Amino acid sequence: MKLHWPSLHYLLELLVAEKVVQHTVVTAAFAFDLFGLRNEVSLDYWVFMVSGGIVAVLFLLAFLGLVQRRRWGAGTALGLGVFDVVGEFIAQGTLFITVTLSFVVALCVIALGWRELRQATVIRT
């Protein structure tokens, strides 16, 4: 079954909403030292707590842009997906990382964001 463009757009919205929740929960976990998360990262946890909070807000803005069918929503989601993938390598402190669900979702956000931007370009021309 081939998914058409609107279905993939809604999937991107859902994945970006998941990223908002994930980054909010992880930021709270760093702030309140839940699950011993502070001991699991390679750098000072403050770096990840502050950047995670900022990224959560930016993912929320990307979500709002996607809901309003704004092109910048897909571009923002794409950029944040790249930031999330790079952040995973930094957080684990190695090139040979453990692939987490968060990592896979970030890759999906990148792929769908890229497709959304290309689709918007095709529609405009």
**pLDDT digits 0-9 by tens, 46-94:** 998 999 999 999 999 999 999 999 999 999 999 999 999 998 888 887 7
- Distances from the Cα of 109 to the Cαs of 22, 40, 41, 87, in angstroms? 14, 25, 23, 15
69, 13 contact by CB (below 8 A): no
Predicted structure pTM score: 0.87
Q: pLDDT tens digit string along 68-80?
A: 999 999 999 999 9
Lowest mean pLDDT, pick from 8-12, 79-83, 99-103: 99-103
Structure tokens at 1: 């079954």
In the chain, the number of structural domains is: 1
| Domain housing 49 | 5-124
16, 58 contact by CB (below 8 A): no
Between CA 81 and CA 68 the distance in angstroms is 19
